[in-house]
Amino acid sequence: MKILLMGNPNVGKSVVFSRLTGVRVIASNYPGTTVGYTSGKMKLGEDIADVIDVPGAYTLEPTSEAEEVARKMLDTGDVVINVVNATNLERNLYLTLQLLEKNVPVIVALNMWDDTKHHGINIDLDKLRELLGVPVVPTIAVTGQGLKELVDNIPRAVSPPQPVRSHDERWTAIGNITEQVQQITHRHHTWRERLSDATIKPISGGIIAAGILAASFFVIRLIGESLISYVFEPLFNNLWLPVLSNLSDAMGRGGFFHDIIVGKLIGGEVDFVQSFGLLSSGLYVPIAMVLPYIVAFYLILGILEDTGYLPRLAMLVDTLMHRLGLHGYAIIPTLLGLGCNVPAVLSTRILESKRERFITATLISIAVPCAALQAMIVGLVGKQGAQYVVIVYATLFVVWLVLGFILARAVKGFSPELLIEIPPYRFPPWQAVLQKLWMRMYGFLREALPIILGAVFLINILYYFGVFNAIANFTAPVITGLLGLPKEAVSAIVVGFLRKDVALGMLAPLGLSADQLVVSSVVMAMFFPCIATFIVLLRELGILNLLKAMAVMIVASLAVGGLLNLIM
């Protein structure tokens, strides 16, 4: 049996799913799209049933890619569990009536049942069951209340005969149902409701957002750097480095195959960042340098998702994002990029259209410096004075805005309106948060690790045949003439394709002036992303859109770098 979990966004579907299936789940994309869904298994009597968490949808008359996928997946299920927000019955029943009209067995999970009493909402369950003609089970997914009764009622799911209504007839029927089953009494607002109002108003919401984002960024940096310093670096240095050293000795500490597998020796030793071998940098960069920030970001992201804050943040910045051809949810990948561009590009999958994903991924790659690069900017440029660091960040922010306006008008396509439900604030269900964190970690390693290893191998081959040195010599006139940097800076900019923070560190011995450091930092941030981000861009955008993004990167970085050189 295949059971589909269907409902509006933000009704607790994912929490119901995790309660039903435990941890044995698979994350996938629907064929031909970037819309993700999860599937798992649950025991139903003596049988094992497949459970699919269908993308959230408000209607079966698709207005977005996610709703189109939800409509198609409906044809594959045997039973539908329609998860409904009990505090917003009228809005949720539109999808319920459409499901009943499809003649598929349905059972309704009336979720967030505990919140109805806080909102002064009284629902006559027996009357609602009578009017809908299907089982209706009140549930509180975060605590598991009602889930056993829900599972027991799955075999009783039915498809009562329903007339196919028009849009207006459906809303009329919904009005009649809610009038008969729901009563709302007067009550005082709770502190959560007052907080909810404050977080979506421009002034108070902006202040709260700044505080939450600053705190989130601090915690993410703390978790990420702590994992690197106290977990991954000791593991690699104490356990993996001796293995590589012995392997290096066995391979003669040099040679073509040695440099590809182990990497070049730096000062006679294996360096996990600069050796750039398959078993050194190929494993260390994604696991010890990128994965810790992915863990940190997705942990905080899961908490912000399940408390109900992210939809409010999206609403708050939606107006600005629309001017960039995006909607408010694009702020999430953008903020992720401040830690690491790899999970930021991967998270553009939450956006509805290919146009939005292209614009967001391109802006992230050009104007959003990762945490490692920021650390180098602050450390290297900051020695010349804090004002120069401010110039770097101000320039990148202006580039983000201006380039966003340009791409919004140059890239064809649409930006769908931000139609999202604002759920009540809740304490995050930790089981669901940790399960989503594990799925995202596993997804990153499964997708990115093989591709990064392949890219490291290819780049070693290109280095061996002198391709990168040829590029450095060819571009030297542009670097010295347009950007005003010494010829020696060419090597650092080329290395920036591998690791931007390492490349910026290579500028330190060149004795650059403060102005030259500002120019080089901006160009380094805007030029080609690091190899891990580059590979993920290729996977997410496709070769044609990647070439377009690369053209934008080259033109923008040279134009802004040349202008900065002229001004300074």
Q: Clarify whether residues 282 and 414 are in a common domain.
A: yes
**Residue 193 lies inside a defined structural domain of this protein:** no
Give 157's DSSP letter.
Answer: -
Alpha-carbon separation of residue 486 from 391, 512, 526 (angstroms): 21, 8, 19
Please give the model's pTM, rounded to 2 decimal places.
0.61
The tokens describing 196, both together, are 């909810």
- What local confidence, expressed as pLDDT, does residue 98 receive? 94
**Residue 471 lies inside a defined structural domain of this protein:** yes
- What local confidence, expressed as pLDDT, does residue 178 receive? 93
Q: Which residues pair with 25 in a beta bridge?
A: 40
Domain that holds residue 126: 2-184
- What local confidence, expressed as pLDDT, does residue 568 receive? 78
- What local confidence, expressed as pLDDT, does residue 306 receive? 82
Alpha-carbon separation of residue 509 from 320, 486, 492, 504, 512 (angstroms): 41, 12, 11, 10, 8
Closest CA to 525 of 359, 356, 381, 353: 381
- What local confidence, expressed as pLDDT, does residue 27 receive? 56
Helix (H, G, I), strand (E, B) or coil at 473: helix
Q: Clarify whether residues 174 and 289 are in a common domain.
A: no
Contacts for 371 with CB less than 8 Å, ≥ 6 apart: 221, 224, 293, 338, 339, 340
Q: Clarify whether residues 133 and 221 are in a common domain.
A: no
**Residue 194 lies inside a defined structural domain of this protein:** no
- What local confidence, expressed as pLDDT, does residue 131 receive? 93
Q: Quickly count: other Cβ atoms within 10 Å of residue 475's Cβ.
A: 15
Domain count, the chain: 2
Cα separation of 167 and 94, whole Å? 9
Q: Where on the phi/psi map is residue 413: left (φ > 0), alpha (ψ -120 to 50), or beta?
A: left
Q: Quickly count: other Cβ atoms within 10 Å of residue 276's Cβ.
A: 26
**Residue 390 lies inside a defined structural domain of this protein:** yes
Which helix (H) or strand (E) segment is 554 a member of?
Answer: helix 531-567
Write out the DSSP string of 476-534.
HHHHHHTS---TTHHHHHHHTTT-HHHHHHTTGGGT--HHHHHHHHHHHHHSS--HHHH
Q: Clarify whether residues 447 and 403 are in a common domain.
A: yes
Q: Clarify whether residues 274 and 142 are in a common domain.
A: no
Cα separation of 437 and 27, whole Å? 12
Write out the DSSP string of 100-143.
HHTT--EEEEEE-HHHHHHTTEEE-HHHHHHHH-S-EEE-BTTT
Q: Clarify whether residues 421 and 330 are in a common domain.
A: yes
Closest CA to 53 of 13, 100, 10: 13
Q: Clarify whether residues 106 and 214 are in a common domain.
A: no
Cα separation of 84 and 469, whole Å? 61
Q: Clarify whether residues 284 and 365 are in a common domain.
A: yes
Tokens 């861009």 locate to 537
Q: Clarify whether residues 207 and 180 are in a common domain.
A: no
Residue at a domain's end among 149, 184, 219:
184
Q: Clarify whether residues 213 and 134 are in a common domain.
A: no
Q: Quickly count: other Cβ atoms within 10 Å of residue 79's Cβ.
A: 20
**Residue 95 lies inside a defined structural domain of this protein:** yes
- What local confidence, expressed as pLDDT, does residue 505 receive? 66
Q: Clarify whether residues 531 and 465 are in a common domain.
A: yes
Q: Which residues pair with 379 in a beta bridge?
A: none
Strand 269-270 versus strand 265-266 pairing type: antiparallel
Q: Quickly count: other Cβ atoms within 10 Å of residue 135's Cβ.
A: 21
Contacts for 219 with CB less than 8 Å, ≥ 6 apart: 296, 300
CATH number at residue 36: 3.40.50.300
**Residue 195 lies inside a defined structural domain of this protein:** no
Q: Quickly count: other Cβ atoms within 10 Å of residue 562's Cβ.
A: 17
- What local confidence, expressed as pLDDT, does residue 277 receive? 86
Contacts for 547 with CB less than 8 Å, ≥ 6 apart: none
The tokens describing 108, both together, are 């309704």
Give 1's DSSP letter.
Answer: -
Round the CA-based radius of gyration of the chain to a whole number and report it. Answer: 27
pLDDT digit string, tens, across residues 214-227? 888 788 778 888 99
**Residue 196 lies inside a defined structural domain of this protein:** no
User: How does pLDDT run along the chain (568 residues), one tens digit per residue?
Assistant: 899 999 998 888 888 887 888 655 565 666 666 577 788 888 887 788 899 999 889 999 887 788 888 899 998 899 999 999 999 999 999 999 999 999 899 999 999 998 887 778 999 999 999 999 999 999 988 777 888 899 999 999 988 888 889 999 999 999 999 999 999 886 666 777 788 778 878 888 889 988 987 888 788 778 888 998 999 999 999 999 999 999 999 999 988 899 899 988 888 888 887 777 899 988 887 788 778 877 887 788 788 878 888 778 877 777 667 667 676 778 778 877 877 788 788 778 777 678 888 998 999 999 998 776 777 787 778 778 888 888 999 999 999 989 988 988 888 875 555 555 567 788 887 887 888 788 878 877 776 678 678 777 877 887 788 776 777 677 777 887 888 887 767 766 766 766 676 677 667 667 788 888 899 889 888 887 877 788 888 888 889 999 999 999 989 989 998 999 888 7
Strand 106-111 versus strand 136-138 pairing type: parallel
Tokens 């970690």 locate to 441
Residue at a domain's end among 151, 184, 217:
184
Cα separation of 251 and 260, whole Å? 11
Q: Clarify whether residues 510 and 554 are in a common domain.
A: yes
**Residue 389 lies inside a defined structural domain of this protein:** yes
Residue at a domain's end among 123, 149, 184:
184
